[in-house]
Amino acid sequence: MAGISKYYRQEGTMQQAAASFWQWFVDNEHRFRKLEKNDSDQALSFLEELIQQMQPFNPYLKALAGPDNSGNFELIITSDGDIALFCKVEELIKAAPAVDNWVFTAHKPALGFEGISIDLYGLQFSTDTTSFYPVVQEDYPDEVNIVITHSGYNKEMDDHFQAGGMIYLENGLGEVNTATKIDNYETGPLPAADKEIEVIPIPKLSEYLNWREKEFVEKYESVPAERPDTYHLLEAEDRDGKKMLLTVNMDCRYWDKKPAYSWLLQVNINYTGDENGFPSEEQLIALQTLEEEMFTLLPEDRTILAGNKTYDNCRNIYFYVSDYKTTAAKLDQYIEGKETIYEILFFIRRDKYWRVMEQYFNLPIED
């Protein structure tokens, strides 16, 4: 997933950027409303200009616009499923003024699967061609893995089926549900009858996802008060002689409550180290200070620091949190107001079993 890259901004800059964008929109929205219905080139040109105007607020947001069913026009601000940017989308929409004949929407809305059709690369995704079935892995029973089937599936065109299937899911389920309720997604043909796999009509997908999410939340709703915090420090070198420094919370290796903190927050801090990409002593202190500030900032009862890796001009920090919304908002606010020479990026995604950390938990460390 794309993340967020921020540099220090003086207080009030973001509010000014949002206000400037909306003022531009108020001054120019009539241009879009006057376009002919079939003038897609001019509509695309307007949206490209609109997205350019959003860049001072955030360079990664996108937009969609068009008439709605009530005679108004709708402007949708989207992060294309990037969970770390959901809070920025909502912040910009919250700052929107009232504009006659316009409705402003945060995130691509759920339209339902009945009555919609997506045509891409000559492929049609509709209730007639598309269905799904879940895949349950014994070692990861709480993960939501689904296969979207298509009656015309061709393995050689899997990339096209993946792209079209994702657009179809976002239209049917909505952007937020697609990004947060599906752990793994793939496309494939209808399974052979002898495999005895129950294929489910695509309109039932929303109901299935809501049931799985409710089941998961109830299973782990009691977040443990005591959290593991025993860290091991390791040093290693890669084949090219580049030094790597690891800090791993080894108490988490066999901890059975990991899914209670199911959201991976990965923070990347980029620096310019020596010829092998390793930081100086001064840089190490600065990186550690930034990490501690972020850890202190995040809600103590909702956050676990799983470890970090310092390697090849980047410090990767791995937090696991129980609430991605509060986490993203607080970290975004911190980064925007932090005066530092380092570039800071962060990413958020669902990782119920901390799979990203398995490579570190399995290192040969004596307890």
Full strand arrangement of the beta sheet holding 62-67: 62-67, 73-78, 102-106
Q: How far is CA 95 from the centre of its chain?
A: 22
Interval 138-156: pLDDT, tens: 999 999 999 999 999 999 9
Number of neighbouring beta carbons within 10 Å of residue 292: 11
What pLDDT is stored for residue 325 in this prediction?
Answer: 94
In the block, tokens 């549900």 appear at 177
Q: How far is CA 297 from the centre of its chain?
A: 21
Domain locations in the chain as residue ranges: 4-106, 118-219, 231-361
* CA–CA distances in Å: residue 54 to residues 31, 105, 290: 17, 15, 28
Residues for the chain: how many in total?
367
Residue 297 and residue 302: Cα distance in Å, rounded? 11
pLDDT digits (tens, 9 = 90+) for 299-342: 888 899 999 999 999 999 999 999 999 999 999 989 888 889 99
Q: What is the pLDDT of residues 271-291, one digit of tens each?
A: 999 999 999 999 999 999 999
CATH number, domain 231-361: 3.30.70
pTM for the model: 0.91
